[in-house]
Amino acid sequence: MSELRQNIVYKEWVIIAKERAKRPHDFIDNSPKLVSDKEYDENCPFCPGNEEKFPHIETDRIEENGKWILRSVFNKYPALSREIPFEWEEKDIFRTISGYGVHEVIIESQIHNTTPALMSDEEVEKIIRFYKKREEEINKYDNIEYVVIFRNHGYKAGASLVHPHSQILALPIIPRDVKQRVEEAFKYFSDHGKCVFCKLIEEETKRKERIVLESDHFVSMVLFAASSPFHSWILPKRHTSRFIDITEEEIKDLAKHLKTFLLKLYKGLNNPDYNYIIRTSPISYGRNKFFHWYITIVPRLTRSAGFELGSGMFINPSIPEEDAKFLREIEV
């Protein structure tokens, strides 16, 4: 029978459609891939040596032996920009804020056709360390309330370029969904005196059935109330509300954990399109005891339709426990 499940953290309900559920291997992604057989592409704006041909304003870089290995640039077509003065306007019921903010691209590698699943642990470490560095810097800017670090992999995830890259968007507001999630976490803490994410880790590591990986400092799981097939979180075991408070030891552990998880997806589901997002506490909330940063990973294996748009709920045509078992058993 199908059942409704509620996410303990955010109180969102999803339908787990067991009667029409597919087996995990039915989600192997055979759709067209955004891939290349070239390690260098002369027409790629992110490949080394093409910087003059495709100029970008660089904001930061990491170098080795006089060459960049990671760098961040302003998005050529930014959703928001710090060059726009921050202005707030309200006319009757109509409220606007100027398009002030930050939109950067992080070029993750010199190699055109690689991806984190195929990188070394050390290469992924450098990416995570660079995420932290950029967020620390952006947090200092005036009128920035929330920073989103995310990665789009593949056409269905919104990517248009093969070259491995992530993005950072920094906003002058706290988005409604983010605020609601933080407030739900605060309510749980007020009622129970404990972080709801810490409670989730405690309960899931006891049961094991939805755990994919567990390392010294992190645990990954397919969610009990997963909104789509293989919808997963990677959470730090240590309570910390802000991603930028990650330690060097945790960076090393997360790099191996994240790379391994993505490689399991790559091998098990034939390099599916996916998004991952680092969810952290809004800047104005500072360090706190009720929120807990994490990474959410959403393989793009299904599409939203009328019901999802009309209800705000999702129908998941897979069983989370079976998805987790499938990933656990993928050898990497």
- Positions marked catalytic: 165
Amino acid at 77: Y
Name the region of 103 (left: φ>0; alpha: ψ -120 to 50; beta: rest). Answer: beta
Task: Provide the total of helices (H) and of strands (E) in the chain, helices listed first.
Answer: 6, 15
Measured in residues, the chain has a length of 332
Name the region of 29 (left: φ>0; alpha: ψ -120 to 50; beta: rest). Answer: beta
Closest CA to 239 of 210, 255, 217, 208: 217
* Cα dihedral 170→253→274→177 (10° resolution): -40
Closest CA to 130 of 275, 273, 277, 246: 246
